[in-house]
Chains A and B, each alone.
Chain A
Amino acid sequence: MDSKLVVSPSPHVHSGESTSRLMFNVVLALMPAFAVSLYYFGLGALIVTLLSVLSCVFFEYLIQKFLLKVTPTISDGSAIVTGLLLAFNVPSNLPWYIVVVGSLFAIGVAKMSFGGLGSNPFNPALAARVFMLISFPVQMTSWPLPIESRLKYVDAITGPTPLAIVKEGLKKGDTVTQIADQIPTHMQLFMGVMGGSLGEIAAFALLIGFVWLLYKKVITWHIPISIIATIFVFTGILWLINPEGNADPIFHLLTGGVMIGAIFMATDYVTSPMHPKGMVIFGIGIGLLTVIIRVWGAYPEGVSFAILIMNAFVPLLNRYVKPKRFGEEVKRNG
């Protein structure tokens, strides 16, 4: 062998992990929830999800190729994940043009205008969801009923979400017992038999995804568990104080976007803290804000806003909450 030897600094081996593999594992982890969504919402779920993913990838390609004039990096899979998460956060009967506009906002405004992958301060899918919620409040809050609307898209039969039923009921002065027969049982909630955004409904499917992400070491437990624990404890205290004026903690965990938010949205690498201590504070913040918005705010659902607000604190958490350094706690002899 006369060819020259490669000389490079150590290490000389690599784990083989890559951005696209991580993203692929997130996509896989979202598949159980997607399957449930197809089962409950059928055609609408399929159309909205495909449209959202394709538009996100397409817009990322266009912006990188023609606007920024850089080599497109759509193969890293991050636009696919954004597209999936965006679709999972909207109702399955959302008209196609709103999906496309939302995708453009997610990729164009929330992601690329800040410098693309790795540089965006806010979760693109959630930023787009809030943008759509404010711009199209009616379409964004009409929730198709599960199963009945399987073969329908924009013409799906709609009804309120369990969270909205409880919020309205309590506002009218009804007690939890009076509302109880209008909302699904905990088991039904766990299985996802309720109105809601197309990917957020089935806690069990999202938890399967959580286990997969942990197993593949894509994420750590810190953010999801601290969000879930905080919501459970906070709503639990409110419920113990006044069980007739507050929904029980399990109900809070199984409804709205708690599971998808805690497992998939808050754990977005780019917009979450870099070390465990920061992650736990971040998670507790999201949990507290979610409950405050749900119980005292105008919206029945607060996870999206809570995550976006805490996204804004991430640079501060990274700067001021430092990991414990090795050798920091000094024990000297002699």
Chain B
Amino acid sequence: MLRTFAKGGVHPPENKLSADKPIEVLPLPAKVSIPISQHIGAPATILVAKGDRVRVGQLIAQSSGFVSANIHSSVSGVVDSIEPLLDSSGYKRPAVTIVVDGDEWEPAIDRSPVLKREISTDAEGIIKKITDAGIVGLGGATFPSHVKLSVPAGKKVEVLIINGVECEPYLTSDHRLMLEKGHEIMVGIQLLMRVLGVDKAMVGIENNKPDAIKHLTDISPEYKGITVHALKVKYPQGGEKQLIKALINREVPSGGLPIDIGAVVHNVGTAYAVYEAVQKNKPLFERVVTVTGKNLAKPSNFMVRIGTPVAELIAAAGGLPEDSAKVVNGGPMMGKAVSDINVPVTKGTSGIIVFPAAESKRKAESVCIRCAKCVTACPMGLEPYLLIRMSQRMMFDRMEGERVLDCMECGSCSFECPANLPLLDYIRLGKAEVNKIIRARKN
């Protein structure tokens, strides 16, 4: 019996179309648009001006606070404009557009492919490099990594958990990374362990990636303290709280953080970025992106420079099929539909999914038949059917008591609902309103 989390969860069709496609380096685009807000927290402060020449890996926007992240140029060339541009959030936000000219890297970056295993940096040095490199959670949440690695006074970390679950259907970027960069990830994990002062790290991988499980298990004896664990396939196991529950059977308290129960979780992609930042001096300016879809000619995994227009990735994967009607940035369960395929790839872009017209629109709603499938599906033990009613009736004050803020918006309820009710839409509205109430109370 494979381990998994206890409560709720669903099993959407996996559709991992690009699982056996090795990571290809996407050719350099003609220009990139790099948003200065690619992470949770304050936008970075722009350091360059129009007309400036920049190199690959050069800092172009500086972290503007503790919860913020540095932004580096992903190409070499000339800054063409600094203006608000549409990104995958659906809003126009400031971005630095650079016209590509050559591929001149910052000289400090070690571009050799040689694996560098020995760790010569101390904990403080590692965290400084992670901060400088602008690393954020690459699983999609884009929370600045150095914040998660700063253990508050009085808390003790017992175990580092590495998320190789990739529970979202379609996505394969973490899968490919684990297969192709296993050793680098392992070194990255050791670096993270040193920062946190733990001697134990657990890598959780869902059982639909047996090759990745085998590869990492085979090499794990070379890396002290790291164990690899196969998990039963169940969405949303990649959720921090679900993964902790599955691996060490502890529950993060409501409103709390993993650190409250002695755990810190990082994604495999983040571990790889940490390796590159610390061992190779390379800031975070490129990442693996899965480009996929049922009608796409060539579903692929690309190594992409941040800021590359999504349209270029789709073109490289065989072009936009005729009947496409929706393009999603991220996974099908939690990703964002974009309104324009020219939005740039950001640090949080794990995948681009192109949906055919037939799968793009929601089906008509019918009445709630109280089948309780949403209650059974909710991994947080909430009652979506009740939350949607309260939200529709604007009973926001009662939603707080029903723990609406515990909702992580995994979408399992809406996925299961036989009446096609927009459960999560209304729960999101409720969360926003409850947050307003809480803010008002504090003032």
Our verdict on whether A and B bind, yes or no, reads yes
Which residues in A have some Cβ–Cβ distance to B below 8 Å? 1, 3-15, 17-19, 21-22, 73, 76, 78, 116-119, 220, 269-270, 272-276, 318, 322-334
Residues in chain A near residue B325, CB distance under 8 A: 3, 5-6
Residues in chain A near residue B420, CB distance under 8 A: 14, 18
Residues in chain A near residue B332, CB distance under 8 A: 10-13
Is B337 an interface position by the 8 A CB rule?
A: yes
**What bracket does the count of chain B residues touching chain A fall in?**
35 or more
Bound-state Cα–Cα, A18 to B420, Å: 8
Please give the distance in Å from A289's CB to the nearest CB on chain B: 22
Residues in chain A near residue B340, CB distance under 8 A: 5
Known: A17-B373, A327-B253. A11 touches B334 (CB 8 A): yes
Please give the distance in Å from A120's CB to the nearest CB on chain B: 10
Q: Using an 8 Å CB-CB cutoff, how does the interface string of B252-279 with A read, 1 for contact, 0 for none?
A: 1110100011100000000000000000
A–B pairs, 29, beta carbons within 8 Å: A1-B320, A5-B325, A6-B325, A8-B326, A10-B332, A10-B333, A10-B336, A10-B411, A10-B424, A12-B359, A13-B332, A14-B420, A17-B416, A18-B418, A21-B418, A22-B418, A117-B367, A118-B369, A118-B370, A119-B367, A274-B385, A275-B375, A324-B7, A325-B381, A326-B7, A326-B241, A326-B380, A327-B251, A333-B156
**Top 9 A-B residue pairs of the complex, sorted by shortest distance between their CB atoms:** A11-B411, A325-B381, A330-B253, A327-B254, A17-B418, A333-B262, A6-B360, A118-B367, A6-B326
Whether B260 lies near A19 (C-beta < 8 A) is no
Residues in chain A near residue B320, CB distance under 8 A: 1
Residues in chain B near residue A11, CB distance under 8 A: 332-334, 411, 414-415, 424
Is B438 an interface position by the 8 A CB rule?
A: no
Please give the distance in Å from B238's CB to the nearest CB on chain A: 14
Bound-state Cα–Cα, A324 to B362, Å: 31
Which residues in B have some Cβ–Cβ distance to A below 8 Å? 7, 10, 12-13, 90, 154-156, 158, 169, 241, 245, 250-254, 256, 260-262, 320, 322, 324-328, 330, 332-341, 353, 355, 359-363, 366-373, 375-376, 379-383, 385-386, 403, 406, 409, 411, 414-420, 422, 424-425, 428
Residues in chain A near residue B417, CB distance under 8 A: 17
Whether B254 lies near A12 (C-beta < 8 A) is no
Whether B363 lies near A269 (C-beta < 8 A) is no
Whether B383 lies near A331 (C-beta < 8 A) is no
Bound-state Cα–Cα, A130 to B420, Å: 34
Bound-state Cα–Cα, A332 to B263, Å: 11
Q: For chains A and B in complex, what number of residue pairs have CB atoms within 8 angstroms? A: 178
Known: A19-B418, A325-B380. A7 touches B339 (CB 8 A): yes
Residues in chain A near residue B13, CB distance under 8 A: 13
Bound-state Cα–Cα, A12 to B419, Å: 16
Known: A326-B251, A326-B381. A9 touches B375 (CB 8 A): no
